[in-house]
A and B are shown apart, each in its own frame.
Chain A
């Protein structure tokens, strides 16, 4: 037997290698650096690695290669999504680095293992302990996301799914305030996430059993070359897409979304709501377009059902929410439905519009959660909508920024949300799913109601004594917030450069 080492294109993989190396160094910093300089070193490593990775992704523009023994594919769409993930991670990490909003410290518990409400916790908080483990966890999560959008086989995709999930389960449970809520969210996320991973694995086993390969292009080949279609492969495919659909939070895999959005530290929600969605849609697109592109008519109905259920359930249940973080959780579920409408088109337009939508959504989300982290009362963040009455009169600038994001999410013209919704609906109509678009438009109208309701509460309600105040943040949150505003406006008014970039990115490498 002769062994030939697989050809590895190190430059194409460099954006991931940088993040991974930084994560390892970051763990060693946790082990060896004195507590006083840990935070400084970690911030240096995290932002340095993310920026380097972003530069390497840009330098890789135009790369179309399958490397690492066929396990990793770097192509146009993958590079676009990697770039989006890294840039959004920089903004999300900036939210996590914020320390001047909460008078006690950053938004993470002084030590996640101390019992909520205990003497131990009180003392640690008083002594100003900071949890710096969030930084290696963040880097590992980013690494998982980069691998998730570039994975070209079922195994690597599963590993990537787990590398994303495990750090996020932990970070969900680390809130400094309302710790029980945060830990409950973490446990729910963990249990449901593990359940979804098991479905993915079983599906992968069935697909492998049918096609005899774990590589997406070979799965596609076996689907067209085998004379009889087997029910096994369709059961496998259905179970396979549960993994990404769970991360996306589409109905019926959405139960964790509102709890995690409400319980997790706001900065972490800002980070993961934006980035994980990009990664999960990247993976879902690759599974469905590359591996199962030939049997489009067999998976389309699945995606239709999930899309319709997500749009309707998300929009209607969001109407009833009184907590703004929870409301945004349901609003996300509805958004996932809209994006799936574009994805179901199974065309180049479907690919482009889906990518545009997740980019637009990501930036608006980071900005939204930046604002939420700034609106506070004596007990920490004031997430109850009653506390938001009249905020627009006290702090018009911040309230206007949030209104822009919310109107963007609602899909009002001149914001990124309008262009992205328009793009997915056009892609769906071209693919002949007009009825789906009609349902989408109705759901958008319902969704617009609750987005506009928040704007109305902020600007047209009288401030009461319950009304929270807006804290002035440091440069970290300000940068995230400004970037969110800028991108939401630019993508709304001049979307053409980004649309051109997406169409130049081309199709998946098969």
Chain B
């Protein structure tokens, strides 16, 4: 990372830690929501941005994670156990779903995952004996970890921020490893990767499963934040929203999901001035964003930087592979 990038990164960290002290309940809630959804967006970015698979099921995984955590906690399990269960369950479901589904091409996968999402919603809504059906689960408790209660808004924010940072760090490490390079190869040119002996199917499946388990983790963080979950929150709208976050931030860029999630969480606030016409303005804003930043904000910046660099210094011939974006 260049120096300017590092400074910006450090400033962002400081802001994330300090800003909430000056905000009221709602502002803290928004930032906590940002942290929680970033995790889900990170997962989708792995599946979509790195492994190139269009998944419209991420919302369902957040739902499965949220319900698992809430139900287990209601049954008396401690939060860490419920948390791990959510992650593992979603990894498993992701693997099982991906096994047959990833054989088909992009657009078909989108429809299969769309159908899966709706099926999960139907099960959550209809199986009242398990999930309380349309009534949802209320009174989800916030965990007490090693004596520290996360009940207050500020405390829960730092908790979710911390979890987000941990997940991000783990993901960063994974992507730096040979595994991660395999993922990038998958996206850039799957056929060439296959010809080089890469088991594309295994890696794609792994990416999909890990992405899904991140969705589950996000759900396990979401449930205690909102303290009430119902099936409607995890329908297609959430999957579209997460897709929007990844694309707007920049699909395939590590920090893309964070920026995308921030925009997705804040955009409704900025648009609230439009009062009754707010959803109309939101839809228009999304279309404009796609028109002007089709590669996402990070993608746009990278193109701008590359254009600037090319103007200043003619490219020296080099054998080192440059990070390119088709």
**Are chains A and B native binding partners rather than an unrelated pairing?**
no
Residues of chain B whose beta carbon lies under 8 Å from any beta carbon of chain A = none
